Structure 1
Amino acid sequence: MEEKLQYKINLTDKVPFHNNALFCVGTGRMNLALRKEYHDQLKKVQEDIHFSYIRGHGLLCDDMAVYHTYEEDGEMKVEYNFTYIDLVFDDYLSMGLKPFVELGFMPEALASGTQTVFYWKGNVTPPSDYKKWAELIKGLVHHLMDRYGREEVVTWPFEVWNEPNLPGFWKGADMEEYFHLYEVTANALKECDSRIRAGGPAICGVDDKRWLTCFLKHCSENKVPLDFVTRHAYAADAPDRDGHYEYQALREPKAFMDELRESRRIIDSFPEYEGMEMHITEFNTSYTPRNPIHDTNLNAAYTARLLSEMGDVCASYSYWTFGDVFEETGVAYTPFSGCFGLLANGMIPKPTYWAFSFFKNLKETAIARSEHFVMTMDEKRGICGIGWNPVEGNEDKDITLEFSLNLSNGDYMLVTKVVDENTCNPLRAWTKMGTPAYLNKEQLDLLLECARPKVDIKQIRVMDDATVFEIPLSSNGLCYFEIQQIYPKADRGFRPERIRGAI
């Protein structure tokens, strides 16, 4: 089944569009940043896409070796070690990334219990001593200011904990206990510098309306510092487990966006918080790192649509995650394991990698937008846009976007970069290889070749100040396009019509 969608574009039009796709990206736990493969993946992402901030779990977990106790003269004392944090943050900053600091989880020596989460056992219990927790936060911030400068650190957002509305991430999902943790932490941050921005409650979509309302009410009534609101957003239903994998159906994009709009409405219902920044500090299609959807073209096309809309209500939306060096449920058995990353291990770009790469190239001014595309223009009337066609299920539904533009007369170059199931699908190539768990060099090189967009260039001659061009999108297709005016001037004697393949 194929459908043609026709759009008449006026270059003088302006439509609302806030492209915050590159503000922040997610990462596995902080300790993983000490590994070479992690560094290499992040370096490639930054070279090609270049996010501004990075957020991840485990900053204060024991594998970061921050919090230590010792006995001296019969008294238990505390000392801090920021060696690993320095190594990680130095590396981030060297690549143009600022930390979006998530404060958690609990050091074992400061924890009130033994409950942990994930393969790497992050402690998710409250502190046994809130005074010592506040001292740890202040000690951390003062160290960061000493190392990186006060004026730099005040540009880093500080988020308190992760998904406390889930009992797996915060003991008993105890709301009042989290509010106390947030209050103590936010006040400790402000003691270091009143300009430090503190936020929460970092909730996911479980009982989220009540949690957000109660959190804002608590902060309002108790004059608790709050500079921004955070939450998470995922688009998948309950999983169906099969071996190492979990399969889920996707919600309609509108349902995903409605959830965010409701959070925006709740925030704005408090006069003192109306218009306050809402940061989505995690988002993806599925919330499990075992869902193969993350490796697919469907994921890329679906995510592109979300990227075109989330800026309507969110100050940022952090894709979870940049790479597949990630171990919440253990170490992956294969290069395509369903993990969250934009890059598969082996430095293989997944289709969604290109969605972010494409959004990087969009211009400031949007001139047209629909559920299938966004089109932007620069001050020189250069046009670029992205089209997408997510199709869940087994039935194909191809579409063609037909654009009528009032371009001035002349010659133009139309550049398209296509990512779809037929042209840029490393998962399918790996499947046809026999799904090898451990890639040799030849296999890896072949997959890298299968993981690049198909690039095409056409020349268009505009007469009568108008032109029509088409962007075909197969099922789960994603296409970046550019139109630029050109001024052909051939070298003396160069005759393309006399050269096979030159036209």
Structure 2
Amino acid sequence: MNLRRKRSLAKLIFGGLLLIILSTGLFIGLGFKDKVANLFSEATGTKAEIRVDAGSNLGVLPQPWRNLAQGGEEPDTITKVAQKIKLLQPNYIRIDHIYDFYDVPNGWTKLDSEVNAILAAGAKPLLALSYMPNGFGADITAAPDNWNDWYALVKATIEHYSGKNNKNISNVYYEVWNEPDLFGGWKAYGNKNYLRLYRVSAQAAAAANNTLPFKLGGPATTGAYPNWIEALLNLVDAENLRLDFISWHRYSWEAEALSDDAGLINRLLLKHPRLALKEKLVTEYGPDPENNPAYDTGLGASHLLATIRASLGKIHKIFNFEIMDGPGPDGAAFWGRYGLLTHHASGLQPKPRYNLLLWLNQLEGQRLAVTGEGSWVKGISVASGNILRLYLVNYDPRGAHQETVPIVINNLAPGGYQVNYEWFQGKTQTKAVQITGGTFVDQVFMRPNEIIRLTLTH
């Protein structure tokens, strides 16, 4: 073997060893697949250059996040947490298991206690008409043995909570079942047909007497499935049944998931002009349908704000799932469960999503135009009186992206301003500035999944 061939072989061997070493390093870090995805994302994504037009007016900012949902961790949950969640200023609180948990056929006392707790928290109830009471069917997710029993139960429920001579609550939402595709294996066809369940429920709602205004809808499936939603739309159109809202659940890491769902439903509604303006409700929402550490960390908060930004003006109500954890294994307080709060046995400790919702209490007023958002950094801005607020989120579920974000706010009134920078669950900085040319210019460095609130007070 000549010298040149020996050198070439040595280079080949060295290069191979180097590739192995580098590859091993990648696997030791984020993992090769994630690392490549991160590198590709960084190369193809767009960084933000945020511009706010203080002279714009996009109308009053909608607040779809002011709604909460509680699952079937245990009965009487809202009673245990009412004072904590009152601070979040919720508009609606959703509960399911209203028939099987609260023994409704034998009286309203137990369920009334939970509904009273919802009212005490400053909210109104969304009641998921589920599951079958004892004795109505083979089990709690079965179809009723006698559909007249279900009709009478739904009618009595509406007359009790919306009835002028009973609880007398206006604008209660009644949702027909909870995740019928999962709990009970219902279909939009065949023998165990959700469409029959909805039809009988709508007929019962139409027969309810002496009530205040209320809403009825569904199908509350585990996703925005076109076959389910189109079947329901076809049914209510063909039989002229009541449908006040379309509801579904969504668990996804994609911030645009709810926006995409709304677009899909809007396309289905093109065939149903009578129903085109019906409300869209996501009655359970989170990043993951299974337990996940993100529910206990700032990543969950970042995901929530990024999703709110993407779905503004497209979804009427988003119900954050859920309010309180069930009891943790071996008494653990934080175990990746969905709750905004730990279980009451662990002291109802607030998690980052709860604290973010507190922060969002100040996100109200006249919505301002924001341009220059990037692939990761998104923004929402509002003005109220002499105060302008800008919320920024750098959402990256991989926890890798960081960037320096230029901020330009135009069309400000001249004069002195106090500028306050607040990092969510972090530091605060304040400075005074003098605006003479109508423009404020600055920049902020944002680490992965950081949230910053910038407040200008004139």
**Band of TM-score, shorter chain:** 0.7 to 0.9
TM-score, normalising length: structure 1: 0.74
Instruction: Tell me how far 1:459 sits from its aligned partner.
Output: 2.0
The answer for the alignment partner of 1:447 in structure 2 is: none
The CA deviation string for residues 213-261 of structure 1, in whole angstroms up to 9 with x for no partner, is: 11110111122221211111111xxxxxxxxxxxxxx3x3235521331
| Cross-structure match for 1:436 | none
Alignment check: 8 A CA contact 1:301 1:478 kept: yes
Deviations 1:57-82 (A, max 9, x none): 10001x31223xxxxxxxxxxxx311
Q: 2:129 aligns with which of 103, 111, 116?
A: 103
Amino acid at match of 2:335: S
After TM superposition, give the deviation of residue 406 of structure 1 in Å: 3.5
- C-alpha separation between the residues in 2 aligned to 1:291 and 1:313? 27
**1:110 aligned counterpart, secondary structure:** coil
Which residue, out of 185, 188, 192, partners 1:171? 185
Alignment partners' CA distance in 2, 1:332 and 1:86: 32
- The structure having more radius of gyration, on CA atoms, is 2
Match of residue 56 from structure 2? 13
The aligned residue for residue 94 of structure 2 is 55
Matched, 1:393 2:398: yes
Paired residues of 1:30 and 1:88 also in contact (CA < 8 A): no
Q: Within 2, Cα distance between the matches of 1:172 and 1:192?
A: 26
Unaligned runs of 5+ in 2: 1-41
Structure 1 segment 117-156 matched on structure 2, within 5 A: 123-145=140-162, 149=166, 152-156=168-172
Out of 178, 183, 188, which is 2:199 matched to?
183
Secondary structure at 2:220's aligned position in 1?
A: strand
CA distance in structure 1 between the partners assigned to 2:367 and 2:401 by the alignment: 30
3-state SS of 1:408 partner: coil
Of 269-278 and 359-368, more deviation after overlay is shown by: 359-368
Letter of the 2:83 counterpart:
K
1:56 deviates by 1.8
TM superposition shift of 1:212: 0.6
Partners of 1:106 and 1:332 lie apart in 2 by 32
Distance of aligned partners of 1:30 and 1:256 in 2 relative to their CA distance in 1, 3 Å threshold: closer
CA distance in 2, matches of 1:481, 1:39: 36
SS at match of 2:131: coil
What residue in structure 2 maps to residue 43 of structure 1? 83
- 2:382 — aligned with what? 376
Listed one character per residue, the Cα deviations across residues 178-204 of structure 1 (whole Å, up to 9, x for unaligned) are 111111111112211474321011122
Q: Structure 2 residue aligned with 1:460, among 408, 430, 433?
A: 433
**2:203 and 2:241 in contact (8 A); partners too:** yes
Q: 1:88 aligns with which of 114, 117, 121?
A: 114
- Per-residue deviation, 1:270: 0.8
Residue 416 of structure 1 and its aligned partner are, at CA, apart by 2.6
Aligned mates of 1:98, 1:54 — CA distance in 2: 6
Q: Report the residue type matching 1:6 in the other structure.
A: E
The total of aligned residue pairs comes to 403
How is 1:418-457 mapped onto 2 (pairs within 5 angstroms)? 418-419=423-424, 424=425, 453-457=426-430
TM-aligned CA deviation for residue 396 of structure 1? 4.1
| Equivalent residue letter for 1:42 | A
Give 1:8 deviation, angstroms: 3.6
Correspondence for 1:32 among 75, 78, 82 = 75
Q: CA deviation at 1:296?
A: 1.9
Measure, in 2, the Cα distance between the counterparts of 1:102 and 1:266: 24
Contact 1:3/1:400 (8 A) holds in 2: no
User: For residues 426-461 of structure 1, what are the alpha-carbon distances to aligned partners after superposition, in whole Å with 9 as ceiling and x for unaligned?
Assistant: xxxxxxxxxxxxxxxxxxxxxxxxxxx433332223
Query: Which residue number in structure 1 is paired with residue 307 of structure 2?
Result: 306
Q: How much does 1:31 deviate?
A: 5.2
Q: Distance between the aligned counterparts of 2:91 and 2:330, measured in 1?
A: 28
Aligned match for 1:223, one of 217, 240, 243: 240
Q: What SS does the corresponding residue of 1:257 show, helix, strand or coil?
A: helix
Alignment of 1:281-320 (within 5 A): 281-288=283-290, 290-320=291-321
Change (3 A) 1:142 1:258: closer
Please, which runs of 5 or more residues in structure 1 have no aligned partner?
Answer: 68-79, 115-122, 236-249, 425-452, 486-503
Aligned to 2:230, the other structure's residue is in SS state helix
Judged with a 3 Å threshold, the aligned counterparts in structure 2 of structure 1 residues 313 and 55 are, in CA distance, closer, same or farther, namely same
Q: Which AA in structure 2 matches 1:171?
A: G
C-alpha separation between the residues in 2 aligned to 1:4 and 1:178? 46
Q: Is the counterpart of residue 198 in structure 1 residue 198 in structure 2?
A: no
Percentage identity across paired residues of the two chains: 21
Q: Considering only aligned residues, what root-mean-square deviation do their CA atoms show, in Å?
A: 2.7
Q: 2:332 aligns with which of 331, 334, 339?
A: 334
Distance in 1, matches of 2:312 and 2:454, equals 21
Q: What residue in structure 2 maps to residue 263 of structure 1?
A: 265
Question: Cα 1:454–1:344, aligned 2, differ >3 Å: closer, same or farther?
Answer: farther
Q: Is the partner of 1:353 in helix, strand or coil? A: helix
Alpha-carbon separation, structure 2, partners of 1:136 and 1:196: 16
Q: Cα distance 1:149–1:473, how it changes in 2: closer, same or farther (>3 A)?
A: farther
Q: C-alpha displacement at 1:462, in angstroms? A: 2.4
Cα 1:334–1:18 shift into 2, 3 Å: same
TM-score by length of structure 2 reads 0.80
1:142-181: CA deviations, max 9, x gaps?
A: 333568757x434101110011123xx1235464521111
- Measure, in 2, the Cα distance between the counterparts of 1:133 and 1:108: 12
User: Conserved in 2, the CA contact under 8 Å of 1:53 and 1:97?
Assistant: yes
- 2:36 maps to which residue? none
**C-alpha contact 2:249 2:285 (8 A) present in aligned 1:** yes
What are the Cα deviations for residues 313-371 of structure 1, in whole angstroms up to 9, with x where unaligned?
211111111222x37xx867421111112223433222222332233212332212346
